[in-house]
Amino acid sequence: MHAKRLVLVMVVAALILNASPIIAQPPPGSLRDLAARNGFYIGTAAYWDHLRDPLHRETVINEFNMLTPEQEGKACEIERGQGLYNFRSMDRLVAFAEENDMVVHGHTLVWHQCMPSWIPDHTTREEAIGFLRDYIHTVVGRYQGRVPIWDVVNEAVADGGAGLRDTPWLQWIGEDYIELAFRFAHEADPDARLFYNDYGADGMNAKSDAIYALVSDLLARGVPIHGVGLQGHITLGSTGPGGQNTPELLDANIRRFGELGLEVQITELDVSYAQPASDEVFQSMAGDYRNMVGTCLESEYCTAVVVWGVADPLSWLRSREDTVNPNMEPLLFDADYQPKLAYTAVADLLARAAGEAPLLTDEEVAALMPEEIGPVEIPEPTFSDPAQLAPDSVPGVLYYAPFPVAITLDGEMDDWAGVPRVTVDSGPTLPPNHDTAMTFAVAADDSYLYFLADVVDSSVVYGIHTPSSSWYREDGVEFYLNTTGDLAAPTYRDGIVQIGMMAANIDNPDPADPIIGGGNSADAQATIVAVRTEQGYRIEASVPLVTDVWTIVPEQGGVLGFQAHLNGASVDDRDTKLIWSIYDVQDQSYTNPSLFGQLMFWQVAP
């Protein structure tokens, strides 16, 4: 498609935080007390072994009125051999909840990442259905009347909403394994409320659309499903303007499930971030928690929020293999079980809703919430250097890409003469005394769009992580394109790509088969040349103007969505994140293309 013309006035979303940190204040009652006054559930996930710690145990008892087994309710933990069940930890958790007047949200009966290891790889459909029936009947039947809510099927929809995830259950049984699981659970406990649970679907996006279609179909066929769990594993700042989990998007998603007659719960809430902890991080996190809990509380269809863990050191986000920050503090309580600002933000929300005195002033609440910067007007094009082939960029907003310009991918700079350069040396994650910077340029000819990134970095780290999972944890650059013409698109679809160009391409002998990562990156058909330089490394790359998913026609004033990032690593993990677009203040471009800046084509005079 042809690139659309630029709208000359754009609105930029950014976080503006109060310069003075807000001090967390204890509420007059616990979270569970305040939640109960609202007829609401506030829960946590817990391990039985962690409850042996008196401080952990006391915090769970005092603060939460719903309990989710973090691990002990999963099939790989319960059924260690065919017909050999170990209910010891699950029994203890259920008894603990009953003793302390907590509702148990059972988690989870069918999940591809925690299956009984004894099931043979070559299992027939009939055998698999028998295994599934026996397991669900046994587990749900054991806790009939004691566990009123079950996550029956967990994470069955593929990322991006592209059909069902390819799991052993799908391979053995077929798509109806989901229906069978719900029917078996209902047979075992007709009074239990049965949920489908998934991540990455909190707001309105392709995956939540796919889940909506799935549960709508189940309901239409009379399958006993009663609720949807939106996990709420969100990233810092994603509930703010331009984020994928704004209150408006979350509410719209909750409402459409509710209007099907389904109950909705936020089932695994936490807030991840890559940068070092700071007052600004905790303030933004408090705003995210308040937005998520507040949206659920205000909805007639949403009945509970479960936080995925109690105190920061025990969060799963620290220990997962692909963690972006092994030291992150994503929960409501710190290492000493002291309530954080996020706790106070949630308690204040619940107190106000219950008619109690607020814990924060209105000004302090406002400081937690992201604000919009006013309109940004694009100035008339200017040339700071008469030799430039295109005008100066508008920092973080608009880059002018000259065309046609002949570029050869050889690691040399000669053919980039006259193409405007932009240096990026700031971003949300910066180590002390960092020396990393990226200077980029973009140009086009009749067949390709070309990218240049000249990186200054005293320590280039690569070859440690795989492109399929953790490519962003080592040195590399990212270029993003939105070729759809819909520059406000909040989610990825065909024609929108994130191209992670890893420094590992320095050792790659075939530029036409590059080492890349990122959303839809294969669609770009990128060719990449990377070379070492005295100051760091340099990447040159090209993508075709015509592919199976897009047609880019350079023309004067034509516009694409555009973004540039740099990932810098130290030792074996990322410690630097530089971002060009001023729209993206919390590293959200990988999920939300509306945070890109823009690229305008500029025709070079003959």
- Note the pLDDT tens digit of each residue in 157-181: 998 788 999 999 999 999 999 999 9
**Which of 47, 588, 42, 594 shows the shortest CA–CA distance to 272?**
588
pLDDT at 540: 98
Active-site residue 155, yes or no?
yes
- pLDDT of 21 higher than 70: no
**What SS3 string covers 377-399?**
ECCCCCCCCCCCCCCCCECCCEE
* Integer angstrom CA distances of residue 104 from 86, 96, 306: 18, 10, 11
- Over range 210-224, report the average pLDDT: 98
In the chain, helix, strand, coil percent, each to 5? 30, 25, 45
**268 counts as catalytic:** yes
Tokens coding 135: 């397991």
How large is the greatest C-alpha to C-alpha distance in the chain, in angstroms?
82
Span 369-384, average pLDDT: 79
**Residue 425 token pair:** 């040396």
- Report how far residue 588's alpha carbon sits from residue 87's, in angstroms, rounded to the nearest whole number: 41
φ, ψ of residue 593 in degrees (nearest 5): -70, -10
Query: Mean pLDDT, to the nearest integer, of 453-474?
Result: 88
Q: Identify the pLDDT of residue 25.
A: 58
For residue 295, pLDDT over 80 is answered with yes
| Distance separating the N- and C-terminal Cα atoms of the chain | 25
Q: What is the pLDDT of residue 23?
A: 61
pLDDT score at 20: 53
Residue 458 has pLDDT above 80, yes or no: yes
Orientation of helix 247-258 relative to helix 206-220, angle to 10° = 10
pLDDT at residue 5 is higher than 60: no
Has residue 490 got a pLDDT over 90? no
- The number of beta carbons lying within 10 Å of the beta carbon of residue 512 is 10
- Cα torsion 240, 246, 247, 251 to 10°: value is 180
Helix (H, G, I), strand (E, B) or coil at 81: strand
**At residue 335, does pLDDT exceed 60?**
yes
pLDDT tens per residue, range 168-215: 999 999 999 999 999 999 999 999 999 999 999 999 988 999 999 999
CB 449 within 8 Å of CB 545: yes
pLDDT at 375: 63
Q: What radius of gyration, in Å, describes the C-alpha atoms of the chain?
A: 26
Measured distance CA(561)–CA(594) in Å, rounded: 8
**Is pLDDT above 90 for 415?**
yes
Confidence of residue 14 (pLDDT cuts 50, 70, 90): very low
| Segment 90-134, tens digit of pLDDT | 999 999 999 999 999 999 999 999 999 899 988 999 999 999 999
Backbone angles phi and psi of 545, in degrees to 5: -75, -25
pLDDT at 275: 76
pLDDT at 370: 67
DSSP code at position 134: H
Query: Which tokens is 67 given?
Result: 């309990």
Check pLDDT > 80 for residue 374.
no
Helix/strand/coil for 515:
coil
Q: Which amino acid is at 422?
A: V
Beta carbons within 8 Å of 597's beta carbon, 6+ residues apart: 396, 397, 398, 399, 561, 562, 563, 580, 581, 582, 583
26 or 12: which carries more pLDDT confidence? 26
Q: What is the average per-residue pLDDT within 344-371?
A: 91
Closest CA to 232 of 251, 250, 210: 250
Q: Whole-angstrom Cα distance, residue 273 to residue 330?
A: 8
Percent of the chain with pLDDT over 90: 78
Residue-averaged pLDDT of the chain: 92
Distance in angstroms (rounded) separating the CA atoms of residues 284 and 17: 8
Quote the pLDDT of residue 2.
37
Structure tokens at 404: 């046609």
pLDDT band at 372 (very low <50, low <70, confident <90, very high): low
Q: Are 498 and 520 in contact (CB under 8 A)?
A: yes
**Mean per-residue pLDDT for 444-463?**
96
- Which residue among the candidates 70, 155, 364, 540 is catalytic per the annotation? 155
Q: Is the pLDDT of residue 357 over 60?
A: yes
User: Per-residue pLDDT for 15 more than 60?
Assistant: no
Between CA 210 and CA 479, with CA 473 as vertex, the angle to 5 degrees is 70
How many residues belong to the chain? 606
φ, ψ (nearest 5 deg) of residue 85:
-105, 140
Catalytic residue among 70, 79, 179, 268: 268
In this model, does residue 146 exceed pLDDT 70? Answer: yes
Beta pairing partners, 594: none
